Amino acid sequence: MDEQFASQISSLTDAEVRNKTGNINATRQSLLRAVFISSYAILEQNLDEIVLMDQKKQGVNLSPNDLKHRGINRSIVYANKVLGMSIDASQKH
């Protein structure tokens, strides 16, 4: 496999090598972006599930969807203001 790759690279011009390298980097960036977006979506979904479970447990009529906020921020605001939890989103890790 390495011999085949080396023979393909050696037969290319500098511009073709840069183009192939650019394609590899673009693919890598796309994959990393997809992993980040998926991870963010999983975190958002888990936070939504946690606040909904706590809403039912406490018997609160106001739901997270009643707030103007969206996404992760909605769950944090709901947990802080409605459920009385203390979530500090300003911490840096």
Q: What is the pLDDT of residues 39-76, one digit of tens each?
A: 999 999 999 999 999 999 999 998 888 889 999 989 99
Cα–Cα distance between 44 and 74 in angstroms, integer? 9
pLDDT value of residue 19: 73
Mean pLDDT of 19-48: 88
CA 35 to chain centre: 7
Cα–Cα distance between 56 and 48 in angstroms, integer? 12
Better pLDDT: 13 or 86: 86
Better pLDDT: 41 or 92: 41
Token pair belonging to 26 = 């673009």
Token pair belonging to 37 = 């977006």
Record the pTM: 0.65
Cα–Cα distance between 3 and 9 in angstroms, integer? 10
The CA-based diameter of the chain, rounded to the nearest angstrom, is: 70
